[in-house]
């Protein structure tokens, strides 16, 4: 590495500006790398940045001017053109490429009927009923479309106001050079670039801390050019991937950083890993702000020099690994997680503070925005950049880490898909279990009802059995009575006949005197026979009833 105090090779930088870095790299690649590592001259830094990134784009600058006035009085004046039509304008997509479009605030509606004919003699003819109906339908459609446009315009205005409020609130976040930016009158331009990019790239919008990325650009170029360079950084340098949904770029760089730390500083990696201090706790701010949240401006500009020349990935990882290596001994002596995290966030950069700065370095630090507050220190920027460039991180290593991360992400997605499938299956089984539980509850209820019915039936059956037994006893008594009654009647009849015969013998001697008694006796006999017949009839009826009852019982 050459001496940073060596004179600037203006011829080399002139060749870079006019011929392009690719042409210079073909003949003087090493000299160009050394010159960039030594620091791009501040007088031409903005121009060189645009050349390195190839960000100059007049169409994109026009888009910026249109976006920055969106929602302002100037925008309303531009929109107020005759007949409600906008002149043709060219837009640029999120990759900075031009595409033609014609904007129009009014919509034409074509009817399937011709206009009513006019008469030269009688004047204008009255429209027919069908034409009046079509005209009324068209007017209603136009009114509905107008109401929809007004509603959409109102929603867009509300969203724009909310966006502007968020950006203005975030501009209060301070870097070590924010006061210098205010003193330089860059606040309006900072707000404009942040707002324009949020409207330009809806996939990113405005992310918190994006002003940290824009501020160094505005120190070196006008707003329009800063916007173009920001678009270039977001797309061609893949900075956008760290701000879109799920932040895949950020997670990739954190994984690469952790793997590099494991390979280059295994003892420090194990020390931090055992204490639960992951890179997400301290390195996230590094990568999202490109170290601007803590570095003074003279160091941030040097970081941008390397990013625009070497690419985002390698540059930020080199600075991150270097800071960990320089503080490895101190970090290994700390065992508290909270202390480690605070040191990594705030004091990791102190190792490059110049304890005895020269007047030149003090002047340079003051020029670059160390304007009081917590950052009054002067940093050894050249030494830090030289050390960072000396960190060996090959593209092959980063490629292998990227492949590992992609495989890990794929496995994680597969695991998440499997978990989701299991959750779905679990939910389905839970529904089935609930259904079975409901069916079981219903079955239990039915079982209880059936058991109660069975008990009631058994009780009733027992009562019926008792009643049947009682009836059986009564029938048996009746049957015995019926069986005994003919014998008694016959016996009584026999006795009576004997008595009558005896009496008849006795009466024979009395003859006529006893005829009346004999008649009475015959009458009595007749009555007795009739009673016997009745008794026989009753006996047959009882017998029939008994047979019927027995058959009923047997059934």
Report pLDDT for 330. Answer: 93
Model pLDDT for residues 125-139, shown as the tens digit of each residue = 555 666 777 788 888
CA distances from 270 to 183, 258, 330, 347 (A): 46, 11, 15, 21
Is 31 or 185 the better-scoring residue by pLDDT? 31
Report pLDDT for 299. Answer: 84
E strand or H helix that includes residue 120: none
Is 103 or 223 the better-scoring residue by pLDDT? 223
Report pLDDT for 42. Answer: 87
Model pLDDT for residues 315-368, shown as the tens digit of each residue = 999 999 999 999 999 999 999 899 999 999 888 888 888 887 776 666 555 544
**What is the arithmetic mean of pLDDT over 11-35?**
86
> Does residue 449 register a pLDDT over 60?
yes
Model pLDDT for residues 379-438, shown as the tens digit of each residue = 888 888 889 989 989 889 999 999 999 999 999 999 999 999 999 999 999 999 999 999
Strands (E), 363-464: none
Report pLDDT for 146. Answer: 87
CA distance 272 to 433: 47
Supply the DSSP symbol for 343.
I
Query: What band does 48 get if pLDDT is binned at 50, 70 and 90?
Result: very high
Model pLDDT for residues 154-181, shown as the tens digit of each residue = 888 888 889 888 888 887 656 656 677 7
Model pLDDT for residues 230-249, shown as the tens digit of each residue = 999 999 999 999 999 889 99
**What is the arithmetic mean of pLDDT over 205-216?**
88
CA distance 405 to 400: 9
Report pLDDT for 374. Answer: 41
**What is the arithmetic mean of pLDDT over 209-225?**
90
**What is the arithmetic mean of pLDDT over 75-91?**
49
CA distances from 172 to 165, 167, 182 (A): 12, 9, 11
CATH class for the domain made up of 240-389: mainly alpha
Query: What band does 506 get if pLDDT is binned at 50, 70 and 90?
Result: confident
Q: What is the pTM of this model?
A: 0.67
Is 79 or 270 the better-scoring residue by pLDDT? 270
| Helix spans in 184-311 (H) | 187-200, 210-218, 223-235, 248-264, 266-274, 284-289, 297-310
> Does residue 96 register a pLDDT over 70?
no
CA distance 293 to 270: 27
Average of per-residue pLDDT values in the chain: 82
- Cβ-contact 218, 226 below 8 angstroms: yes
> Does residue 294 register a pLDDT over 90?
no
CA distance 442 to 436: 10
Query: What band does 58 get if pLDDT is binned at 50, 70 and 90?
Result: very high
Report pLDDT for 194. Answer: 93
Nearest CA to 47 out of 38, 36, 55, 39 is that of 55
CB atoms within 10 A of CB 145: 13
Query: What band does 82 get if pLDDT is binned at 50, 70 and 90?
Result: very low
E strand or H helix that includes residue 313: helix 312-326
Of 311-315, 474-478, 487-491, which range is least confident? 487-491
Is 60 or 500 the better-scoring residue by pLDDT? 60
Residue extents of the structural domains in the chain: 39-80+131-236, 240-389, 445-554
Report pLDDT for 404. Answer: 94
**What is the arithmetic mean of pLDDT over 185-212?**
90
Domains 39-80+131-236 and 240-389 equal at CATH topology level: no
Second-level CATH architecture of 39-80+131-236: Orthogonal Bundle (1.10)
Out of 24-33, 445-454, 510-519, the most confident range is 445-454
**Token pair of 4, please?**
């940073």
């Amino acid at each position: 590495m050459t001496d940073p105090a060596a004179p600037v090779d203006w011829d080399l930088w002139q060749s870079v500006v006019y011929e392009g870095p690719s042409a210079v790299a073909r003949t003087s690649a090493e000299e160009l790398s050394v010159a960039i590592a030594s620091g791009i001259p501040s007088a031409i830094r903005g121009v060189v940045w645009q050349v390195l990134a190839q960000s100059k784009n007049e169409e994109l600058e026009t888009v910026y001017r249109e976006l920055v006035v969106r929602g302002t009085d100037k925008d309303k004046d531009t929109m107020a053109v005759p007949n409600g039509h906008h002149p043709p304008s060219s837009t640029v997509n999120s990759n900075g490429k031009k595409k033609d479009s014609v904007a129009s605030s009014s919509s034409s509606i074509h009817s399937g009927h011709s206009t009513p004919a006019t008469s030269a003699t009688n004047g204008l003819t009255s429209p027919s009923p069908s034409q009046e109906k079509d005209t009324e339908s068209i007017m209603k459609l136009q009114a509905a479309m107008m109401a929809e446009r007004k509603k959409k315009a109102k929603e867009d205005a509300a969203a724009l106001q909310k966006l502007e409020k968020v950006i203005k609130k975030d501009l209060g976040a301070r870097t070590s050079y924010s006061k210098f930016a205010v003193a330089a009158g860059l606040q309006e331009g900072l707000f404009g670039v942040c707002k324009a990019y949020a409207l330009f790239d809806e996939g990113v919008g405005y992310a918190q801390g994006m002003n940290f990325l824009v501020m160094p650009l505005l120190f070196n170029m006008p707003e329009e050019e800063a916007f173009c360079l920001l678009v270039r950084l977001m797309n061609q340098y893949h900075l956008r991937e760290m701000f879109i949904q799920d932040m895949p770029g950020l997670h990739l760089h954190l994984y690469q950083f952790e793997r590099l730390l494991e390979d280059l500083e295994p003892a420090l990696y194990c020390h931090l890993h055992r204490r639960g201090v992951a890179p997400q706790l301290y390195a996230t701010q590094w990568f999202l702000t490109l170290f601007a949240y803590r570095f003074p401006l003279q160091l941030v500009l040097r970081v941008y020099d390397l990013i625009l020349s070497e690419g985002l990935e390698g540059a930020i990882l080199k600075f991150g690994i270097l800071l960990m290596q320089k503080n490895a001994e101190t970090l290994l002596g700390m065992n508290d997680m909270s202390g480690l995290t605070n040191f990594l966030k705030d004091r990791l950069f102190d190792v490059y503070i110049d304890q005895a700065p020269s007047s030149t370095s003090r002047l340079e630090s003051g020029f670059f925005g160390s304007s009081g507050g917590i950052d009054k220190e002067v940093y050894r920027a050249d030494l830090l950049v030289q050390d960072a460039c000396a960190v060996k991180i090959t593209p092959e290593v980063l490629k292998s880490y990227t492949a590992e991360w992609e495989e890990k992400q794929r496995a994680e997605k597969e695991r998440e898909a499997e978990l989701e499938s299991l959750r779905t299956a679990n939910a389905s089984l839970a529904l089935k279990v609930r259904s079975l539980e409901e069916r079981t509850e219903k079955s239990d209820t039915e079982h209880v009802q059936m058991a109660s019915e069975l008990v009631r039936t058994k009780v009733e059956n027992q009562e019926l059995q008792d009643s049947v037994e009682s009836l059986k006893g009564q029938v048996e008594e009746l049957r015995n009575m019926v069986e005994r009654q003919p014998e008694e009647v016959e016996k009584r009849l026999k006795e009576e006949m004997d008595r009558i015969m005896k009496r008849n013998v006795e009466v024979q001697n009395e003859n006529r005197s006893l005829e009346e008694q004999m008649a009475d006796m015959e009458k009595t006999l007749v009555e007795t026979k009739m009673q016997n017949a009745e008794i026989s009839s009753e006996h047959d009826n009882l017998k029939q009833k008994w047979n019927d009852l027995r058959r009923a019982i047997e059934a």
